[in-house]
């Protein structure tokens, strides 16, 4: 391989220089000047919306580490960035988009205390607590403990953060801004209406004498009010960033809460991604009135596609013009589609990167190359070229995955339910790693025996699920429903734990 086409590790957001400059400005406003704002990124599937959210995390980390890109000003060490996402099915569940945010904000211990305090709450209790001596200010050591806890809680999934907390024997729980928990446990609104937090908690809190009387629209409004209050106490003054991916699937209750949080939590940078919507939620219309920036992600140009191809192949050579033009035209400038073409060509062995240029293999013409007509057709053809074991596990994982993620331990019972077996000389983890190397999956956690993986793109999960036979799909969905009932049946009332969940999900 020539020196001009050497292997390198490249990374970048292609053709999005303007968007990156805007993000840097907004993040500097937030972290350095304490000014919140709202940014909406709009674009079709595969245009790079989710990738830009990852860029926000990277830019904010640079601001934190480098002292606000050179600005001589101190900033809070407990500034945090949280990303929430949903899917077409999960988006029908009220407040689903907020579940992960609240799980990172409220530790199991705090949830237990809220459940205990709210059961016998009287307004005089909160009044007595609020009139008592305020807690002593944290020491420098405690402030850094809180900063570390906050950082870990948004870098890692809640389950992983809990494991790190137990392993390290820390005195502070790994949740966002643990120093604010004392405020939650003395706030009258939170204590009186804590059961209304149940939609976003792992385990529900039983209704107390106050919340039992609420129903319908009054209950919904009270729920939004107390949820916004919790986030105000946890994130207010923390220069936080909340990012919501795929908000075109978000339910109306989540939109209403987002509108409430925008007005109460300051300073706060809100970043929303969405596909073009024929109809918008009324609460989004209210938010649009305060919109600072709306970035519509346009198609990549041919030079951008060249950069993408070099990045995908990990080389530095020039891209042959006819190849570059064909990929740009056939992909419509869609980066996900273009990356899929490149990966497919590599799998088929039609590219030559051994010279100074990236070109088609000897004897190949651009007219001989098969360009699938859609993203779905492209993904289907790539799945068909996978080894049998990889295809099998990818399809099973597509049923198991919640919000695009799943764990290694979830797969064996699903394989048994479907009457499927892997070859004797392979393991589930080996196949998952093979799918990761094929750019179908990404690894979210490497916990021994129960590694967590996610789909590289929602379209991969959708296509993998669609290519399942109807008979196998029913078996797997039934097995998933039985697993849900086994795990959560004990939480339901006796009249509910009688197979209703199984019937609903199967």
Q: Average pLDDT, whole number, for the chain?
A: 79
Contact 60, 81 (CB under 8 A): yes
Pair of tokens at residue 431? 């196949």
Structure confidence at residue 208 (pLDDT): 92
pLDDT at 414 over 60: yes
What's the predicted TM-score (pTM) here?
0.74
Residue 487 pLDDT class (50, 70, 90 cuts): low
Q: What is the DSSP code (8-state) at residue 184?
A: H
Helical segments of 314-457, H only: 321-331, 335-348, 375-384, 388-400, 411-417, 428-437
φ/ψ region of 319 (left if φ > 0, alpha if ψ in -120 to 50, else beta) reads: beta
Q: Which own/partner contact pairs does 16-20 have at CB distance under 8 Å and 24+ positions apart? A: 16/48, 16/52, 16/55, 16/297, 19/52, 19/295, 19/297, 20/55, 20/59
Question: Could you write out the DSSP letters of every residue in 28-87?
Answer: HHHHTT---EEEEEE--TTSSHHHHHHHHHHHHHHHHHTTTTT------TT--EEEEE--
Of 115-129, 321-335, 407-421, 458-472, the one with minimum mean pLDDT is: 115-129
Highest mean pLDDT of the ranges 84-98, 422-436, 474-488? 422-436
Tell me what the mean pLDDT of segment 122-145 comes to: 63
pLDDT at 103 over 80: yes
Structure confidence at residue 327 (pLDDT): 92
Distances (CA, A) of 466 to 345, 396, 419: 24, 11, 19
pLDDT at 82 over 50: yes
Kindly state the percentage of the chain with pLDDT values over 90. Answer: 21
Of all helices (H) and strands (E), which one includes residue 352? strand 351-352
Instruction: Name which residue leads in pLDDT, 123 or 316.
Output: 316
Please count the other Cβ atoms lying within 10 Å of the Cβ belonging to residue 374: 9
List the beta strands (DSSP E) in 186-267: 240-245
Structure confidence at residue 114 (pLDDT): 92
Residue 496 pLDDT class (50, 70, 90 cuts): very low
Residue 373 pLDDT class (50, 70, 90 cuts): confident
Structure confidence at residue 166 (pLDDT): 61
Structure confidence at residue 222 (pLDDT): 96
pLDDT at 500 over 70: no
pLDDT at 53 over 60: yes
Residues 6+ apart with CB under 8 A from 469: none
Structure confidence at residue 175 (pLDDT): 80
Tell me what the mean pLDDT of segment 136-141 comes to: 74
Tell me what the mean pLDDT of segment 47-75 comes to: 59
Distances (CA, A) of 479 to 162, 367, 486, 491, 500: 28, 46, 10, 19, 14
Instruction: Name which residue leads in pLDDT, 491 or 91.
Output: 91
Residue 478 pLDDT class (50, 70, 90 cuts): confident
pLDDT at 505 over 50: no
pLDDT at 78 over 90: no
Structure confidence at residue 493 (pLDDT): 44
Instruction: Name which residue leads in pLDDT, 25 or 257.
Output: 257
Q: In whole angstroms, what separates CA 201 from the centre of its chain?
A: 17
Structure confidence at residue 91 (pLDDT): 64
Instruction: Name which residue leads in pLDDT, 148 or 163.
Output: 148
Residue range 380-505, CATH number? 1.10.10
pLDDT at 207 over 70: yes
pLDDT at 94 over 60: yes
Look at residues 380, 377, 341 and name the one whose alpha carbon lies nearest to residue 358.
341
Instruction: Name which residue leads in pLDDT, 496 or 14.
Output: 14
Tell me what the mean pLDDT of segment 253-273 comes to: 91
Q: What are 359-369's pLDDT values in tens digits?
A: 888 888 888 88
Instruction: Name which residue leads in pLDDT, 211 or 474.
Output: 211
CA–CA gap between residue 246 and residue 30 (Å, rounded): 23
């Amino acid at each position: 391989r020539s020196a001009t086409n050497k292997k390198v590790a490249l990374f970048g957001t292609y053709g999005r220089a303007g968007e990156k400059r805007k993000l840097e400005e907004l993040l500097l406003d937030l972290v350095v000047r304490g000014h919140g704002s709202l940014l909406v990124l709009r674009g079709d599937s595969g245009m790079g919306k989710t990738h830009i959210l990852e860029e926000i995390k990277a830019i904010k980390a640079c601001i934190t580490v480098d002292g606000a890109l050179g600005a001589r000003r101190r900033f809070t060490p407990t500034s945090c960035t949280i990303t929430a996402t949903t899917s077409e099915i999960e988006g029908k569940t009220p407040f689903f988009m907020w579940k992960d945010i609240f799980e990172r904000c409220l530790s199991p211990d705090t949830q237990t205390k809220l459940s205990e305090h709210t059961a016998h709450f009287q307004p005089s209790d909160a009044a007595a607590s609020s009139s008592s001596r305020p807690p002593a200010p944290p020491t420098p050591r405690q402030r850094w403990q809180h900063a570390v806890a906050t950082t870990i809680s948004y870098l890692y999934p809640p389950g992983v953060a809990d494991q790190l907390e137990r392993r390290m024997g820390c005195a502070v729980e790994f949740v966002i801004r643990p120093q604010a928990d004392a405020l939650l446990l003395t706030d009258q609104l939170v204590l009186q209406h804590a059961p209304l937090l149940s939609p976003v908690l792992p385990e529900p809190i039983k209704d107390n004498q106050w919340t039992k009387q609420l129903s319908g629209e009054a209950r919904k409004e009270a729920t939004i009010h107390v949820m916004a209050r919790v986030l105000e106490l946890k994130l207010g003054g923390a220069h936080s960033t909340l990012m919501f991916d795929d908000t075109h699937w978000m339910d109306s209750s989540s939109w209403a809460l987002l509108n409430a949080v925008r007005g109460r939590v300051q300073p706060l940078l809100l970043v929303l991604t969405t596909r073009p919507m024929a109809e918008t939620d009324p609460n989004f219309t209210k938010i649009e009135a305060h919109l600072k920036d709306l970035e519509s992600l346009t198609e990549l140009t041919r030079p951008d596609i060249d950069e993408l191809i070099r990045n995908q192949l990990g080389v530095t050579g020039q891209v042959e013009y006819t190849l570059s033009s064909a990929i740009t035209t056939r992909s419509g400038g869609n980066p996900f589609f273009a990356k899929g073409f490149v990966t497919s060509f590599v799998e088929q062995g039609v590219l030559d990167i051994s010279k100074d240029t990236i070109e088609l293999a000897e004897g190949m013409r651009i007219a001989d190359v098969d360009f699938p007509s859609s993203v779905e057709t492209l993904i289907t053809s790539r799945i068909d070229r996978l080894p049998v074991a990889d295809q099998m596990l990818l399809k099973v994982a597509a049923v198991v995955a919640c919000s695009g993620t799943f764990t290694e331990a979830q797969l064996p019972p699903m394989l048994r339910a479907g009457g499927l077996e892997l070859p004797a000389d392979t393991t589930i983890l080996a196949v998952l790693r093979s799918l990761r190397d094929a750019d179908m999956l990404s690894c979210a956690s490497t916990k021994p025996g129960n590694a967590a993986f996610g789909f590289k793109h929602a379209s991969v999960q959708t296509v993998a699920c669609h290519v399942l036979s109807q008979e196998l799909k029913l078996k797997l969905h039934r097995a998933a429903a039985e697993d849900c009932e086994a795990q959560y049946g004990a939480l339901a009332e006796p009249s509910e734990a009688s197979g209703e969940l199984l019937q609903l999900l199967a």
